Each structure stands twice: as structure tokens, then as C-alpha cells.
């Protein structure tokens, strides 16, 4: 079904300026345009969706830069909506694999309605008996990163000692819970007291600490891992990395 053709308002978050450092609110702006609830002629495989949930992820910072490796990401275009992973409902379709009413996950614009013409990645959600928002978290990219990174790359064993940096983030908090399910001893670091409390009191970490209060990361890890670390799930890089002396041999 190509759609009803009704014209509706479409609020968008548009990209304003390329950024060389940390992004600022002024690098984007909100505008409202109109869109027709149909797939235009000429888009024979197009799909029109209403966006329900959007995922704000760290990789988007890379796309706000002008000079990036095109093999990995494509820069945002000034004046166009930001793009990211999201959950949406199909309102109109000319694509044989998607019909009106389907719930889908994939790359969408930061706007109320998006016309989808590129389907990498893009798939129909089969299991709708869980909250759809889960597909931007544990059932989406953060969850897949945590699951495959921990179980396939780290190959954990019961009783091992696991340290997770940036542990309160979307990936880190899941890795910590997976590790606890495996019977591991788990310590995470974060950047505030509130995040540390969250790790210990909600996500079940054995210990957690604020790295900003530790002048020597290796010394801090020595306190929490006197016998050494078996698995270090690294979410930060740079100065937050621990040295090889922290590992159990």
C-alpha cells in the first residue's frame, strides 16, 4: 500500500555544523516541515515509517565530523536530519518485504516520519510481546555489542574476575549483568557517585568506583583485584586503559 496521501507536520532534528571536538547543542536545531503519508512515485521499494523510538549512540559523534573514512560511516549533511538506529511503524510501503502496520528496526532520521530507501541495516521486528523500546537497548546494537563482545570474544568462565570501564553505559551495564549471570566477580568504573550507586545497587556489580577520584587507575584496580584481572571489557580507551600488570597470570 502506497499510503493515504494525507499531509502532516514532521518535526525534525537537523544537523547544523561539522564538529571537530565534542558535540554541542548548537550543532543541531529543531525544525518542522510537512510530509505526505505516502511513498512518492518513483520510489518503487520505498517505505514510509513513523518513528517511535530513537537510539542516541556514541558512534554518531564520528558522523558529525567532515573528514571520516567512508568505508565505515557517512558524514551527516548540514540541513538534513541526524540519522541513527530506531524503532518505527510502517505507514506505507512499495517494498515487497514490508507492509503497513509492520514494526521495524533500522537506520532512520531523527524526525517524526522517515522515507526509507536504503535498507542496510533494516529488518522487521518479529517479537512484539516485549516493549518495543528494548530494540534500541538490549535487543538492539548495545545488546548485540555486549553479548557477542563478552561471550564470543572474552569467552568467560565461572569465577573469573571481570573489570568493565564506562560500566554505566548502554553496553557496559549489560556486560556486567551477563558476567554476573556467568558467576564472575565484577567491578565497574564510572564517572560519578550516582553512576557508581547505580552499578552496585541496581545492576548487581560486586564493586564499582568513580575513576575521577582515583589518581592512579592501576593502584585502584590493585585494591579491587588483588589477585589480578581475567577479563577487561574496554569501553573507553585513552588514559582509562589499565596496564598489563593488572592482569592475572
| C-alpha to C-alpha distance for 20 and 77, rounded to whole angstroms | 15
CATH of domain 141-246: 3.40.50.720
What is the arithmetic mean of pLDDT over 117-142? 91
Nearest Cα residue to 199 out of 162, 159, 247 = 162
Task: Please name the fold of domain 3-136.
Answer: Quinone Oxidoreductase; Chain A, domain 1 (3.90.180)
In 3-state terms, the chain is what percent helix, strand and coil (to 5)? Answer: 25, 30, 45
Query: What number of other Cβ atoms are within 10 A of residue 157's Cβ?
Result: 11
Contact 175, 149 (CB under 8 A): yes
- pTM, to two decimals: 0.83
What is the arithmetic mean of pLDDT over 217-221? 92
Q: For residue range 73-115, list pLDDT tens digits in order.
A: 889 999 999 999 999 999 999 999 999 999 999 999 999 999 9
Chain-centre distance for alpha carbon 212:
24
> Model confidence at 67, in pLDDT bands (50, 70, 90)?
confident
- pLDDT for res 237: 66
- CATH 3.40.50.720 positions along the chain are 141-246
> Model confidence at 248, in pLDDT bands (50, 70, 90)?
confident
- pLDDT for res 111: 98
Burial class (CB in 10 A: 0-12, 13-18, 19+), 44: exposed
Residue 223 has pLDDT above 70, yes or no: yes
| C-alpha to C-alpha distance for 199 and 105, rounded to whole angstroms | 28
> Model confidence at 243, in pLDDT bands (50, 70, 90)?
low
Higher confidence at residue 217 or residue 238? 217
Mean pLDDT of the chain: 92
Q: For residue range 10-38, list pLDDT tens digits in order.
A: 999 999 999 888 889 999 999 999 999 99
Higher confidence at residue 33 or residue 2? 33
What is the arithmetic mean of pLDDT over 202-231? 95
- CATH 3.90.180.10 positions along the chain are 3-136
Residue 122 three-state SS: strand
- pLDDT for res 3: 56
What is the arithmetic mean of pLDDT over 46-74? 90
Amino acid at each position: 500500500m502506497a499510503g493515504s496521501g494525507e499531509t502532516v507536520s514532521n518535526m525534525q532534528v537537523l544537523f547544523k555544523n561539522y564538529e571537530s571536538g565534542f558535540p554541542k547543542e548548537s550543532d543541531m536545531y529543531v525544525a518542522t516541515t510537512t510530509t505526505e503519508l505516502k511513498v512518492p512515485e518513483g520510489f518503487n521499494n520505498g517505505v514510509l515509517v513513523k518513528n517511535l523510538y530513537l537510539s542516541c549512540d556514541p558512534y554518531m559523534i564520528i558522523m558529525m565530523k567532515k573528514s571520516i573514512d567512508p568505508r565505515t560511516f557517512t558524514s551527516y549533511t548540514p540541513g538534513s536530519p541526524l540519522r541513527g538506529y530506531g524503532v518505527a511503524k510502517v505507514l506505507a510501503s512499495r517494498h515487497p518485504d514490508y507492509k503497513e502496520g509492520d514494526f521495524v528496526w533500522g537506520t532512520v532520521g531523527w524526525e517524526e516520519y522517515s522515507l526509507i530507501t536504503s535498507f542496510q541495516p533494516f529488518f522487521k521486528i518479529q517479537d512484539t510481546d516485549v516493549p518495543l523500546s528494548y530494540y534500541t537497548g538490549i535487543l538492539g546494537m548495545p545488546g548485540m555489542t555486549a553479548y557477542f563482545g563478552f561471550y564470543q570474544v572474552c569467552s568467560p568462565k565461572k569465577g573469573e574476575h571481570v573489570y568493565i570501564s564506562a560500566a554505566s553505559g548502554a553496553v557496559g551495564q549489560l556486560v556486567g549483568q551477563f558476567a554476573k549471570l556467568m558467576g564472575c566477580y565484577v567491578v565497574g568504573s564510572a564517572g560519578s557517585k550516582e553512576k557508581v550507586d547505580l552499578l552496585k545497587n541496581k545492576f548487581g556489580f560486586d564493586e564499582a568506583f568513580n575513576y575521577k577520584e582515583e589518581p592512579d587507575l592501576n593502584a585502584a584496580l590493585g585494591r579491587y583485584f588483588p589477585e589480578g584481572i581475567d577479563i577487561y571489557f574496554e569501553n573507553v580507551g585513552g588514559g582509562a586503559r589499565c596496564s598489563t600488570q593488572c592482569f592475572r597470570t
